[in-house]
């Protein structure tokens, strides 16, 4: 069985680890993740990457990250509470939320 420590892998170019990113770089990461998953014969779902603003992240918080949900006043209440705490520095936001569904949805905050 091939491992990630084989010569062909250790001689490859390292992925960027800096704070700067592009959509092309995200594609490179996804290709590498898929390659390693296939190497270990892992079953994976397709990826759906959503790059969102901090306001959209707060909206994802209030709806528990689910892309489709029923309309209810409590989601708006939760959004306002989260927004007020965030703007007053009492709460930080996650840089990403991942929903393990098919496809796998990843909300990445752009800021």
Query: Contact, 48 vs 106, CB < 8 A?
Result: yes
pLDDT digits (tens, 9 = 90+) for 49-105: 999 999 999 888 887 777 677 778 888 888 899 899 999 999 899 899 999 899 999
> What integer pLDDT is reported at residue 76 of this predicted model?
85
Higher pLDDT, 8 or 27: 27
Does residue 19 register a pLDDT over 90? no
Cα–Cα distances (Å) from 62 to 5, 57, 59, 111, in that order, read: 42, 9, 5, 19
pTM, two decimals, is 0.71
């Amino acid at each position: 069985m091939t491992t990630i420590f084989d010569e062909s892998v250790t001689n490859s170019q390292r992925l960027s680890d800096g704070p700067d990113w592009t959509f092309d770089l995200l594609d490179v990461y996804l290709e590498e993740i898929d390659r390693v998953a296939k190497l270990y014969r892992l079953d994976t779902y397709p990826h759906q990457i959503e790059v969102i603003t901090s306001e959209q992240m707060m909206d994802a918080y209030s709806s528990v990250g689910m892309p489709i949900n029923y309309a209810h006043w409590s989601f708006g209440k939760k959004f306002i509470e989260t927004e007020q705490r965030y703007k007053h520095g009492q709460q930080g936001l996650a840089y990403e939320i991942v929903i393990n569904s098919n496809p796998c949805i990843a909300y990445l905050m752009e800021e």
